[in-house]
Amino acid sequence: MSSILSYIASFFYSTEEIEEIEEIEEKLYDATFKMNKYDRLETSVNVKNNSGKYSCFAIEPIKAKYYTRYRGEYINEYPENDTYTWEIYDYDEETGESYYEDVIKYLDATNIDHWTKHIRHADTEEESNVTFTQYLDRMYYIISKDIEAGEELLIWCSEKYRDILKASEE
């Protein structure tokens, strides 16, 4: 199964991860969002534990079109636990655009303490307020709707990316 599908479908963690999570009921993370190189938002997000599942909440409003980078470490082998892993596709060096054909490596945040890995997948596109894109070999989360203080960040895959994933599974 594709790692992104596992990420989307899976909200279950290993016993070891659950034990670690349950020790932290709530944690405040520093977060930086950018609109462009001149427009930055330095804020915090609150990651909360709800029965072993994380949820990520905005501390202050975040406007649509701000983005932040998904942090992780690059690995060449498909990981055993792919809960926090994105596939990185081959891309055009000049434009940064992905071809969405061949997976060249993986971006894994399993051993990284960063808040972006705790954004849950929305049940519907309408309730989502975050989407993502690959640029060069990096993954970015993009705020797709204005987010109010206290609101949960919820991610949704674009239709284009879901079609790519379906084709790769066939």
CB under 8 A, 24+ apart: contacts of 38-47: 41/66, 45/115, 45/153, 47/115, 47/118
Cβ–Cβ < 8 Å for 165, 4: yes
**Residue 88 token pair:** 């990185």
pLDDT digits (tens, 9 = 90+) for 118-157: 999 888 889 999 999 999 999 999 999 999 999 999 998 7
Overall number of domains in the chain: 1
Estimate to the nearest angstrom the gap between the alpha carbon of 146 and the chain centroid.
Answer: 17
Please name the residue that has the structure tokens 């534990």.
Answer: 49
Span 80-119, pLDDT tens digits: 888 899 999 999 999 999 988 899 999 999 999 999 999 9
Q: Output the domain CATH number for residue 106.
A: 2.170.270.10
| Domain of residue 93, residue span | 3-169
